[in-house]
Amino acid sequence: MPLSIIHYPHPTLRHKSRPVARVDRRLKSLVDEMLDLMYQHDGVGLAANQVDLPIRLFVANPSGTKGDGEEWVVINPEIDRHKGSEADREGCLSLPGLYGQVKRPRLVRLQGYDLAGKEIKTTLDGFLGRIVQHETDHLDGVLFFDRMTEESRREVEGPLDEFESEFRALVANGTIGSDETLLAQRKEWEDAYT
The strand pair at 107-113 and 72-83 is best described as: antiparallel
Q: Does the active-site annotation cover 90?
A: no
User: Strands, E, within 84-194: which ranges?
Assistant: 86-91, 99-104, 107-113, 119-125
Could you tell me the sign of the dihedral formed by the alpha carbons of 39, 42, 43, 49, in that order? negative
The conformation of residue 95, written as its DSSP 8-state character, comes to S
**What angle is formed at CA 125 by the lines to CA 120 and CA 131, rounded to 5 degrees?**
75
The active-site residue out of 71, 135, 164, 188 is 135
Q: Which amino acid is at 193?
A: Y
In Å, the largest CA–CA distance within the chain is 47
Q: Provide the 3-class DSSP secondary structure of residue 112.
A: strand
Catalytic residue ranges:
135
